[in-house]
Amino acid sequence: MCLPLVLGTTSDIVSPTYSGSLSSSSPIFVRPDKSSGHYYYQAIRVTVPTSGTYIFTSTSSKDTFGCFYSDPVDPSYPSQNLITTDDDGAGNNQFRISAALQSTRTYVLIVTTYDVNIIGSFVITVNGPASVVLSAFIPSTALGTTITGYLSSTNPVFCRPGGGSSGYFYYQAIQVTVSTSGRYSFISTDAMDSFGCLYSDSVDPSYPSQNLITTDDDGAGRGQFRINANLQYGRTYVLIVTTFNTNKMGVYTITVNGPSSVILSTFIPSTSRPITSTRKNNAGNQIEESVGDGLLENDEANRDIEVVSEKCLEHSVQDNSVLDNHFRSLFKIFSAIAQFINRAENVTKKASYCFYSGTICFILWFCVSAIIINTLGLTGKSLLVTRNKQFSLQEILKTEMNKKFIQDTRIFDSCLSQYVKDHYISIIKFLNEDLINVGIKNEYNDFNTLLCTLLNIFINALPFILNLS
């Protein structure tokens, strides 16, 4: 028995067929048989006046794929309410879906493609015991929760899963708590080719594969990740937002869709061991250095600091590892404190801000000066000899501190506003040019005497710091 050709209708207008098209402006989803991918689709609501078996056949120059649902349908959950799917049932890369439909119910046909990112026109023909009503619509999705953040040089770093062992990736950890068990999707939106990692319970950046549930790179297309996972109420999860390439920074937005809203909160995970990197020193030998708790230092600034410390002890100190390590530690402290003060500038009165920032600036200057002098004292050297010329400690401190804090403005530009930078430089210039000679002698056998002398310099500097306010 041959079934008659049933006329389809669009907007209640009878038509022999239903014509549509997929374009770059069409909505996207992940097909129910896939865990990731960027598939354009068109949703068509189907109602029938007579119960029976109906056949939906596609005709297109593209390799189409059909998904048939009982209404409602949520693209965030492509397997929910799914009746059947088909790829090549009609031959020639066209789908053919046969389903028993009831007149009292509403159905949805999703027309999409077999391959990702495919656009083009299509025609749907429906055969059945009666005419059908076909109307295109855009399905609603579960209310999404969003969080926006920024990856910068101050973010911690780790070796992400699948990223190899040679590169470091800035990341942000986001704790995820759900109030309803179910399937959730995490979708990124950014311009830096993001990469997502989802963990259960907790995450240790030193062991990036531990507690790992899944990762994704381009599941949402266009350099965006999409992670779909079944989450349970009562458990804690962690989403790591990072990048596909190393040392990338930028703004990102994460949208979470699911059966209910979720609680998202950023935090810095603790690590059980230092994260280390390998580099070559000036002698060409490979050395391993710690990145601490995962806070990656500014490479260019570190190289400058290394040069400064080596010049300080050139031809006088054979092993400068103590001074070098102190410089690196102080720069990390300086960067962290400076950025905190930079943010505090917006919420603190100028006078208080200038006083506290000036005090911290001086303390850092004080520490570096003390370390240089003490290191020389530990090695039995009170004067440096470079190219047969003697330099006093006053000259050494003035020259090297100017190089560290003033001439190399990249250190300031990386983390301070212009106002804050000018404030810091003014204080350091005053200290180096006007106060560095106060009480500084060529030899210090007693380090406590040195500390008292530098503390006296700090007291003398306080009026200048307050005047800057």
Tokens, residue 432? 């180096």
Convert the pLDDT of each residue in 258-313 to its tens digit: 777 788 988 888 875 545 444 444 445 544 444 444 443 334 333 333 333 344 33
Which of 126, 2, 110 lies closest to 55, judged by CA?
Answer: 126
Domain ranges of the chain: 5-137, 145-267, 297-468
Rounded distance, CA 401 to CA 416, Å? 18
Look over the chain and give the mean of its residue pLDDT values, rounded to a whole number. 70
Convert the pLDDT of each residue in 79-104 to its tens digit: 889 999 999 999 999 999 999 999 99
**For range 445-451, the mean pLDDT:** 50
Q: Which of 50-64, 121-135, 242-256, 291-305 has the least mean pLDDT?
A: 291-305
- Predicted local distance difference test score (pLDDT) of residue 47: 92
- Residue 401 pLDDT > 60: no
Contact present, 118 and 40 (Cβ < 8 Å): yes
Tokens, residue 392? 């006093």
**For range 110-125, the mean pLDDT:** 94
- Residue 65 pLDDT > 90: yes
Q: Which of 141-155, 224-238, 269-283 has the least mean pLDDT?
A: 269-283
**For range 40-66, the mean pLDDT:** 94
Q: Which residues contact 305 (CB under 8 A, 6 or more apart)?
A: 327, 328, 331, 404
- Predicted local distance difference test score (pLDDT) of residue 148: 87
Question: DSSP letters of 119-157?
Answer: -EEEEEEEESSS-EEEEEE----PPPEEEEEEE-TTSBE
- Predicted local distance difference test score (pLDDT) of residue 221: 82
Q: Which residue has the higher pLDDT, 10 or 147?
A: 147
Same CATH topology for 5-137 and 145-267: the answer is yes
- Predicted local distance difference test score (pLDDT) of residue 391: 43
**For range 370-374, the mean pLDDT:** 55
Q: Which residue has the higher pLDDT, 55 or 327?
A: 55
**For range 395-424, the mean pLDDT:** 52
Rounded distance, CA 182 to CA 310, Å? 59
E strands, 340-416, are 384-386, 389-391
Tokens, residue 8? 């389809």
Q: Which of 207-211, 278-282, 317-321, 430-434 has the least mean pLDDT?
A: 317-321
E strands, 120-275, are 120-127, 132-137, 145-151, 157-158, 169-170, 172-178, 182-190, 194-200, 212-216, 226-231, 236-243, 250-257, 262-267
Looking from the CA of 368 toward its CB, the CA atoms found within 13 Å total 32
- Predicted local distance difference test score (pLDDT) of residue 15: 45
Rounded distance, CA 133 to CA 44, Å? 10
- Predicted local distance difference test score (pLDDT) of residue 449: 55
- Predicted local distance difference test score (pLDDT) of residue 259: 75
Percent of the chain surpassing pLDDT 90: 25
Rounded distance, CA 65 to CA 90, Å? 11
Rounded distance, CA 94 to CA 41, Å? 15
- Residue 126 pLDDT > 70: yes
**AA letter at 174:** I
- Predicted local distance difference test score (pLDDT) of residue 196: 95
Contact present, 170 and 271 (Cβ < 8 Å): no
- Residue 137 pLDDT > 80: yes
Taking every pair of Cα atoms in the chain, the longest distance, rounded to a whole number of angstroms, is 111
Architecture of domain 5-137: Sandwich (2.60)
- Predicted local distance difference test score (pLDDT) of residue 201: 87
Contact present, 250 and 180 (Cβ < 8 Å): no
Tokens, residue 240? 């790591």
Fold of 145-267: Jelly Rolls (2.60.120)
Reported confidence tier of residue 200, pLDDT bands at 50, 70, 90: very high
Rounded distance, CA 397 to CA 389, Å? 16
Distance (Å) of CA 339 to CA 157, 292, 416, 428, 459: 18, 18, 6, 18, 25
> Rounded to 5 degrees, what angle do the CA atoms 76, 80, 86 make?
100
- Predicted local distance difference test score (pLDDT) of residue 218: 87
**For range 418-442, the mean pLDDT:** 53
